[in-house]
Structure 1
């Protein structure tokens, strides 16, 4: 028997709490606890129950929705709970969401993005603190998609949506910059070169073309990660040109450890000029 669905939000419907098993409802309380062992154990238990429910749902002769009611409820509950001001609730919910996206290929990423757009929005009625929590929750939801590795499978349109959202969010609050850039780094490293070139690099063009005055450590780091994805050594030499909308992209960073940390120091053509200028010796053009 299918759950009573109350509305449409992409492919993840609203489900009445009365149609969800108590066993699943109780698990969300444990996901909010401060003890990591309990959270991880309950995440595993939640996945086990949902897999059984989804398998039973798949065997139904006539079903209106590809996902069982319990799975749809869980997805909504987890995404809506990410803006929580309770530290461990955010951590527990993010972990569970990541695992569900990883373990259930039936869940479409485009539907998850639609759910994020629907539930993690705010109006001018919320306080600044509440707005900040909502934006942080959105970043956390996008990170869950990235860490689930579902975008590694060539979801071009969905990848563009995630990258675009992260770039937009990093400019909203200073404390969002680091997690957004971290998400972009993970995504750049995990996708293949075709996905990167067609769906990520065009989205990064504004960040990578900011020039000298607009350069920041985060933008430098993105440039290095992007270059490492598409590096090309011509004529047996490392003296290649970085193409990011300028003939030569000089960046002011003052943090040599970034280059060493990501193994890019060996690709530098020049590091000098009182330790603040660097020229990355790679070639990655826009066309």
Structure 2
């Protein structure tokens, strides 16, 4: 089996390395020659790829896109989010992959498509995007579905954490933070990799899947405890948003379909890896 990962960053690279141990022919894309060389040094077939793709795709990119599974793992960015540009980037990639004969696509989306919904959220819950990111990802999900039909699996990930990445780093020491009573929806990198790998090898019938730990402590409890464990200044929350319950992502259908049990299901266990 050949798997191509567009976006070998914080999520895509460890995914590629994990797939490589499963005797899968793994290809990865980077936007610089230095990045491609690093992939090659780690035993991953590297491809220099910048988006949007031009009408004339070179041999290397065509070889990258002629694959059994294409994983699209390219975040739109937060600081300089340009929704239309990102949409054009992803869809130019999708069109070229379709033309090259790619068999299946896994699109890494986000649970921000649920935005301000409250209560338990299942894979079948109707989305309610309000943020720019939520609206963008929902639009991409729809456009990709039109193109790939049943050959597309959408995986919506909750807030990511893992090695060198944890939201407590950005909330530590801040004051008058809002929504302290609302539940957190987070998922560890290790669990993301296991689920994406299972989607690749098992070809599940579910068109939309999502992922989050089943524990949902309040923002105040969780980030306070993580700050203490990390010996960081404590965040301070105000009492606004009282009466707003927030949402809890329930990923049991996804996990059951893949036969997977979460490794990092208890969010209050463990210490953030910030170094």
More helix per residue: 1
Task: Point out the structure with the larger strand share.
Answer: 2
Higher-RCO chain (CA-CA 8 Å, sequence separation at least 6): 2
Q: What is the TM-score normalised by the length of structure 2?
A: 0.31
The structure with the larger Rg is 1
